[in-house]
Amino acid sequence: MEFSVVITTYNRLDLLKRAIDSALGQTLPCQVVVADDCSTDGTEEYVRNWVSQLQARGDDRLVYHRNAENAGHAATMNSGVKQATGEWIKPLDDDDYLASNCLEKMAEAIALRPQAAICSAQAAQVDINEVELSRTIVAGPGKAFYIPQEDVHYGMLLELVPVGTPAQVSFRKDAFWQAGGWDSAFDGNCDDIDSWIKMSQFGDVIFINECLAYRTVWTGAYNRRFSVQKRLDTNMLMKQRIYTLVSPKYQSFVPPMEDVRAYLNLHWGLVAVKHGKIFTGIETMFPSVFSWGAWRLLVRALWFRWFAPDRSVKEIDAYNLSFTENLSELEAEGRSSDSLSRRLWWFSRDRGQPATTLKKMALPTFADIWQQKSSSIEKSTDEENFANLKERLERNIWLIEQIYCSLDEQHCDLVPELRIIKNYLKLCWGGVAIGRGKLLAGVRLGFPAAFSIAAWQLLFESWRSQRQSQYKDAIRKLVLIEN
């Protein structure tokens, strides 16, 4: 596979020199295209001189292209890609630069997943003196992993797929043109993100958990030219575009668009406050500050950015194997409940926290039982309803007992006592009966569990878990290269 590094530039010769040197110094040889948007600071003379020197040595890797007129950032990227001969493009702004092994590492990961359309890596933020200020997050498991195409837009919508800036990203050239290139309507303000959204329709997205690029944070950065309101409006449009592309697989998990809009108002309002624009921030956040859905999305995004752990898929699958074998045996006997089986499936998908998950997810929650079970109760006599519900309750209790038999001693010590869970299940099914207007059946099923404080605590915890997982992160992150 061949790479072309396309460097867009405009009147930043001092920084451009560093960007060119980092591209020419790659351990994986590549073409380097400098796309100049009519600079007037000596850029043309410098780069053409470089081209001549290299060609005199038989090296034709460096190519210079100059726009006929000043056309803007997006149009300059498009014109640079037209000059590129590589099947993969590595975009680079003139104030950023690459680690020497950037393309080599990307090529290694792409070779393992050639159907990918985008490859992204970690980047370090540096000041004008190249002092590192921070790094982007570790986005998933292993040294490199990929997210299947159908999962990408759902992840983008909830900000679980941080594709990154041009310094972090490379893309397949044919996918770039299929997506229509960069749109000048977003010139310098989300023109790259708009492109990632569209290109993600044509392949998977690879992430490399290694710092392979450096972004300069300084007052001359392009994105500092735009107001908070302008960035909010553009971000809102990006979310709307993503919303329409989310796979049907995730439609039942997608939050309402009004919650997404309110979340963006909160986010950019807080950004304004952070930069000392208090009144702008308050105006931006109002009335979204009263939206519970917006706060939930904001907390979720912050959690993912700062705290969310990731474990290797192999480690998860190794744990799943022993557990799902036991579950298969139970289901073969035809005695498991639909609600509990689904919870157990999520348990088997959990990121290596079996005790916590058994407590919060493997148990059927009150809300889940209410939705899935109460609707199936036929209108009949109270005694028939009681017998029907009691039978289902006993099936749940039986299955929980089998789960306990499959746990080792360590996990048994960490989960609630069996008698507490049995009382919890009685509360759940009693609630189902009451919800259907069968008060007497509900009281009979819930007595004497209604006097167990521990059972009520577990019921509340399960209900809260259900609410927190309403928009569960179900996107797949599949390891390409292990640590």
The answer on pLDDT for 320 being more than 70 is: no
**What are the distances in angstroms from CA 436 to CA 70, 377, 422, 425?**
69, 8, 22, 17
362 falls in which pLDDT band (50, 70, 90)?
very low
Predicted TM-score (pTM) of the model is 0.67
DSSP 78-120: HHHHHH--SSEEEEEETT-EE-TTHHHHHHHHHHH-TTEEEEE
Average pLDDT (369-388) is 52
- Span of 87-91, 96-100, 233-237, 307-311 with lowest mean pLDDT: 307-311
The rounded mean pLDDT for the chain is 80
| pLDDT tens per residue, range 172-215 | 999 999 999 999 988 777 889 999 999 999 999 999 999 999 99
Instruction: Tell me the CATH architecture of domain 3-225.
Output: Alpha-Beta Complex (3.90)
What is the number of alpha carbons within 13 Å of residue 301 lying toward its C-beta? Answer: 18
pLDDT of residue 91: 97
The answer on pLDDT for 260 being more than 70 is: yes
- Span of 90-104, 224-238, 277-291 with lowest mean pLDDT: 224-238
**Rounded Cα gap, residues 260 and 235, in angstroms:** 11
The answer on pLDDT for 266 being more than 70 is: yes
The answer on pLDDT for 438 being more than 90 is: no
**Rounded Cα gap, residues 253 and 481, in angstroms:** 30
**Rounded Cα gap, residues 171 and 181, in angstroms:** 11
Q: Delimit the CATH 3.90.550.10 region(s) of the chain.
A: 3-225
393 falls in which pLDDT band (50, 70, 90)?
confident
